[in-house]
Amino acid sequence: MNALESAQDLIALVHANEDIAVYREGCSPESIAAAEEAMGLTFPPSYRKFIEEFGTCDFGSQSFLGMHVIDGELWGSHGATLESRDEGMPNHLIEVAHDGMGGTIALDASQPDADGEYPVVVWEAPDQPVLELLAPNFGAYALDVFQRVAERKNG
């Protein structure tokens, strides 16, 4: 299954489990473009699909930053990315979540695949340059995380 197919399955999973899902209105292409310009990076297709659909999403105990507009101001992944850069996060990473143990879940834009997808990594701190690979792309990673939540709920 490719990353966009995984993102489509992720969207269907969230809609099938609305009782544990909290999300916002999806982001417009203009908002996405503004965020990308602010970061100097583009979002990979599967993450773009996610934020176009949900903006941001909490699913049970798991969440992804996504993007959303509050009172005309854009919030989410791009802002967290810019803040983390001030703390030493490399400029080629896009923050999308936290691992609950002090790590930042990020998309590594320095390693795009043939489809323009970025691997999902954990960034710990400036003095730990080795990034732990979590998944080949956002679609696969997010679908796996949310499937585990749904299995616990329905288990």
Specify the pTM.
Answer: 0.93
134 and 99 Cβ atoms separated by less than 8 Å: no
Instruction: Classify domain 3-154 at the CATH topology level.
Output: SMI1/KNR4-like (3.40.1580)
Ramachandran class of 71: left when φ > 0, alpha when ψ lies in -120 to 50, beta otherwise? left
Mean pLDDT of 17-40: 92
Give the integer Cα–Cα distance in Å for 77 and 95.
6
For the chain, the domains span 3-154
* pLDDT tens profile 80-93: 999 999 988 999 99
